[in-house]
Amino acid sequence: MYELERVSKTYRQGGRPVAALVDVDLTIADGEFVAVQGQTGGGKSTLLQLLGALDKPTSGTIRLGEADLGRMGASELTRVRATQIGFVFQSFNLIPTLSAQENVETALAPTHVDKRERRDRAQEALESVGLGDRVAHLPSELSGGQQQRVAIARALVKQPQVLLADEPTGALDEDTRGEIVGLLESVWKDRGLTLVVVTHDSWVAHRAERRIHLKQGRVTEKAAAKV
Amino acid sequence: MFGTYLRRELANRRRQTIIIAVGMALAIALVIVVNAVAAGVQNAQATALKSIYGVGTDITITEPVTAASAGGQQFQFGSGAGRTSGGTRTIGGSRLRTDFGTQTFAATTVAKAAATPGVKAATGVLSLSNTTFSGQLPGGATGGFGRSGATPRPTGGPDGAGGSAFGITRVSVLGYDVGGATIGPLTAATLTKGRSLTAADAGKDVAVLDSDYATSAKKSVGSTVSIGGKTFSVVGIVKSTSATGSSASNLYIPLDTAQNLAGDKGDVSSVYVEAASADQIGTVKTALQQTLGSTMTVNTQADLASTVSGSLSTTASLASSLGLWLSVLVLAAAFLIAVLFTVSGVNRRTREFGTLKAIGWSNRRIVGQVAGESFVQGLIGGAIGVVIGIVAIVIVNMAHPVLTASAAAAGRPAGTAAGGFGGGSGFGGGGLGRAFNQVASSASSIVLSLPITPAVFGIAVGLAVLGGLIAGAFGGWRASRLRPAEALRSVA
Ligand SMILES: Nc1ncnc2c1ncn2[C@@H]1O[C@H](COP(=O)(O)OP(=O)(O)OP(=O)(O)O)[C@@H](O)[C@H]1O
Ligand SMILES: [Mg+2]
């Protein structure tokens, strides 16, 4: 699925360069479940942004399937994000003024599916995360776990090939954490998509097929540990 | 999606929506009211001119007053004039002369004007002023008041302080062509009582009175009035067609009668000209000026409008100068408020827009969303502004503000207080008790009525929408520059 070759990302902070990723070589296979761990500031979020076509590397190549993300223009990257990649965030990032149903529909807005199909698919996605009875609720009327389920439904409704999650359980309590990880695991298995989860939490990381460690922008891979 | 999202945002960010819309609404309302006042004042000026010069008059011809002919009035009394009782002599008199500030010229000008190409009709009028004087003098005083200044001073009188008491009443008299003139001052007046003057009245001592003057002088059809020592019978009363305000003159009499009375045989003081078509007025003016020579003043209605003074012209200049700048200022402020609030709104929604970009929304879609919100805010502001504007116009119209207008141009038919006392030096000492009874009035008062013009409302709403779009452009530009990676920034 992903092929990274000597990928570096350097930010400029007040004129000083900050190396967030340094010469990262990494291959992620189709349908793989990868956990990315590491100390804070290690470059985990930066890596996920590059995988998610939100940003381009300073040097090196990132291939998603056949496409070289580093060489794409802004509108092509937008297209990739709209069709191939689902994103789940630590703080859910739902639109506060839209209902659960409408939040899920925002992911279909760029794909030009008609209104009825959009509604049906959003409804379906919410049912698949166990929120079929909460479609009309605003984010503020849902618990943290429920909000993250809505966010997962939003990521899945476009039927992406990749699901990327940055600390998806970081804002949740332990019981809910289990629920959300269980949900991610089951969609990964059912849909056969590629799942990359950034986490501080080794309990979460241990559910993955493979764990990657990032330290000061460099990858140190731990032995694969299948659960 | 666009519509739902837009509706939800406007409903949920009510404070921002209300501030932007209200700012815009006030600016729009101001633009509407200022425009309406300007238009209302313009209408009022047209009305003012009509009541002075009549309906249908496109051009007036007058001759500038020359210093030599502008002499003051004189009352001459012989030493035996008046009645004497108890040491006090009561004297009185009535004198008719061409109106102060008016120069008369030969009536042949009327024919010359009428023969000028492009002229549909021309009629001459003679503006006269009838001054009635009555008062009491101490017994020893002899007559001969005038500009000489050599008159013996009066000593002692009925007021006990050695002075005299005089009453002076000035009445404007307009002689006009009773043979069926289609233009002239009387076209802006309607007959309310009695009859109009007809061709059969030519040369007769008959008069038609302005209703305001008739009321104040307590005259009606059948009464008599004294003009220049002659007795006229009142045959009709006319009223100005403007909502309030008097007609051009206090009295109207046949032109030839007026000419005989004033001794200005065959002279007129103004010629009213109607052009064959409205778009020829400029050419006709030039032609008339050529025909009549440079000694004559040829004025179009537009030239005359600038001579209208009084609170009407004050309002006109207020509306055009202060009103314009105020509108521009308030409009700019409203635009600025809209831009600032929209941009700060976008800044607060950084994570929201970042998230939408991260899940595949294009810049165009996001800019469209932001611009759409601002556009609707502008539209709401415009709609509220139109409502406020209409309410303000209705309130102003219900209050019936009355403006006064006086035509300051030479050749105006009605006089003012100026020139009431010829010479005056003859009354120098002696504690003269002046009792002016200024009936004649040249100022016509006009009710300001603000029109509701659909085009102005269209422009106003257009401005509101423009403001919304400008704010949307700024906000959208700001949103388009957000990096999608902003969405991953933890905790807003
Ligand atoms: N937009 C940016 N501008 C400048 N420096 C940045 C930017 N984003 C990240 N960095 C820097 O890059 C490095 C890696 O940041 P990154 O967010 O990838 O770390 P992380 O592993 O996700 O950390 P955390 O566990 O705290 O989320 C850090 O030193 C950070 O300060
Ligand atoms: Mg991070």
Rounded to the nearest 10 degrees, the angle between the axes of helix B454-480 and helix B363-399 is 150
Band the pLDDT of A22: cuts 50, 70, 90: very high
Nearest to B491 among A87, A91, A166 (CB): A91
Return the structure tokens found at B45.
């000026």
Neighboring chain B residues of A111 at a CB cutoff of 8 Å: 360
Residue A144 has pLDDT above 50, yes or no: yes
How far apart are the C-alpha atoms of B281 and B302, rounded to whole Å? 10
Candidates B355, B430, B342, B394; CA nearest to B136 is B430
Could you give the ipTM of this predicted complex? 0.94
Q: How far apart are CA B353 and CA A150, in angstroms?
A: 18
- Say how many Å lie between the CA of residue A26 and the centre of ligand 2: 19
DSSP B181: -
Q: Which protein residue has the closest C-alpha to ligand 1 atom 26? A: A40
Q: What is the mean pLDDT of residues A12-18?
A: 89
Residue A116 binned pLDDT confidence (cut-offs 50, 70, 90): very high
Q: How far apart are CA A33 and CA A186, in angstroms?
A: 11
Whether residue A161 lies within 8 A of chain B, CB to CB, comes out as: no
* The pLDDT of residue B21: 92
Cβ-Cβ contacts under 8 Å, A107 against chain B: 359-360
CA distance B156 to B177: 49
Chain B nearest-CA residue for A81: B360
- 3-class SS of residue B403: strand
Q: Where are the beta strands (DSSP E) in B139-290?
A: 165-176, 189-194, 206-210, 224-227, 230-240, 251-254, 267-268, 270-275
Q: Is the dihedral of CA B256, B259, B263, B265 positive or negative?
A: negative
| Residue B23 tokens, joined | 């700012």
Query: By alpha-carbon position, which residue is closest to atom 19 of ligand 1?
Result: A41
Q: Decide if A155 and B359 are in contact by the 8 Å CB cutoff.
A: yes
How far is CA B302 from each of CA A125, A130, B3, B48, B308, rounded to the nearest angstrom? 75, 80, 52, 12, 10
Q: CA-based angle A85:A89:A91, to the nearest 5?
A: 160
In terms of phi and psi (left: phi > 0; alpha: psi -120 to 50; beta: otherwise), the region of B125 is beta
Location of structure tokens 């200024």: B438
Angle at B57 between CA B56 and CA B60, to 5 degrees: 175
Query: What 3-state DSSP class applies to A116?
Result: helix
Chain A environment of B484 (Cβ under 8 Å): 54-55, 81
Nearest CA, atom 24, ligand 1: A40
Domain boundaries, chain B: 2-42+314-401+450-491, 64-144+162-295
Cβ neighbours of B452 (radius 10 Å): 14
DSSP 3-state percent helix, strand, coil across chain B (nearest 5) = 45, 25, 30
Q: Is pTM beyond 0.80 here?
A: no
Q: How many CB atoms lie within 10 A of CB B113?
A: 25
pLDDT by 10s per residue, chain B, length 492: 899 999 999 988 888 899 999 999 999 998 888 888 888 887 777 777 776 666 677 788 888 776 554 444 455 555 555 555 556 666 666 777 776 667 788 888 888 888 888 888 888 888 888 877 776 666 544 444 444 444 444 444 444 444 566 677 788 888 888 876 677 777 777 888 888 888 888 888 899 998 888 888 888 898 888 887 788 999 999 887 765 556 678 888 998 888 888 776 778 888 888 888 777 888 888 888 888 888 888 888 777 766 666 667 777 777 777 778 888 898 999 999 999 999 999 999 989 999 999 999 999 999 999 999 999 999 999 999 999 999 999 998 888 887 776 654 333 333 333 333 333 333 333 333 232 222 223 456 677 888 888 888 888 889 999 999 999 999 999 999 888 887 666 454
How high is the pLDDT of residue B66? 67
For chain B, state the CA radius of gyration. 33
Q: Which residue of A40, A45, A56, A89 sits with most ligand 1 atoms within 8 Å of its CB, as the best mutation to test the pocket?
A: A45
Residue A44 Cα to ligand 2 middle (Å): 6
Task: For residue A105, list chain B residues with Cβ-Cβ distance below 8 A.
Answer: 1
Query: Between A194 and B58, whose confidence is greater?
Result: A194
Q: In this structure, what token pair is assigned to residue B425?
A: 């030096």
Task: Choose one of A16, A37, A44 to mutate for the ligand 1 pocket test, by most ligand atoms within 8 angstroms of C-beta.
Answer: A44
Q: What amino acid occupies position B107?
A: A
| Rounded Cα distance, A198 and A224, in Å | 16
Question: With an 8 Å Cβ cutoff, is A26 touching chain B?
Answer: no
For chain A, give me the number of helices (H) and strands (E)?
7, 10
CB A109 within 8 A of CB B4: no
Helix (H) or strand (E) segment spanning residue A151 = helix A144-156
Please tell me the number of the ligand nearest to residue A55's CA. Answer: 1
Q: Do B208 and B237 form a contact (C-beta atoms < 8 A)?
A: yes
Smallest Cα–Cα separation from B205: which of B186, B224, B220, B181?
B224
Q: Do B12 and A45 lie within an 8 Å CB cutoff?
A: no
Among residues A124, A178, A118, A176, the alpha carbon closest in space to that of A145 is found at: A176
**Quick one: chain A helix, strand, coil %, rounded to 5?**
35, 30, 35
The stretch A196-217 carries a mean pLDDT of 92
Q: Is B362 on the interface with A (CB under 8 A)?
A: yes
Torsion angles phi and psi, residue B184, rounded to 5:
115, 175
Beta carbons of B361 and A82 less than 8 Å apart: yes
Residue B145 has what pLDDT? 45
Average pLDDT, chain B: 76
Tally of CB atoms within 10 A around B430: 18
Provide the terminal-to-terminal Cα distance of chain B, rounded to the nearest Å. 25
Taking an 8 Å cut-off on Cβ atoms, the answer to whether A107 and B8 are in contact is no
Q: Which residues have any ligand 1 atom within 6 Å of their CB?
A: A 11, 13, 18, 20, 38, 40-46
Q: What are phi and psi of B64, to 5 degrees?
A: -60, 145
d(CA A28, CA A35): 11
Ligand 1 atom having least distance to the Cα of A214: 21
pLDDT of residue A99 exceeding 70: yes
Q: Which of B303, B81, B272, B313 is nearest to B174 (CA)?
A: B272
**Contact, B426 vs B151, CB < 8 A?**
yes
B8 touches chain A (CB under 8 A): yes
- A58 lies within 8 A of chain B by CB: no
Determine the Cα–Cα distance for residues A97 and B432; give it in Å rounded to an integer. 86
Provide the pLDDT for residue B363. Answer: 92
Best residue for ligand 1 mutational test, from A11, A40, A48 (most atoms within 8 Å of Cβ): A11
Tell me the C-alpha distance between B139 and B162, whole Å: 11
pLDDT value of residue B197: 86
Q: What is the mean pLDDT of residues A112-126?
A: 93
- Beta-bridged to residue A215, according to DSSP, are A218
Spacing, Cα A26 to ligand 1 middle (Å): 19
The full length of chain B comes to 492
Predicted confidence at residue B87, as pLDDT, reads 61
> Which chain B residues contact residue A54 at CB under 8 A?
357-358, 483-485, 487-488
> CB under 8 Å to B390, separation ≥6 — which residues?
B32, B452
* DSSP conformational letter for B296: S
Q: Which amino acid is at A71?
A: R
CB-based contacts of B108, cutoff 8 Å, min separation 6: none
Task: Determine the pLDDT at residue B96.
Answer: 74
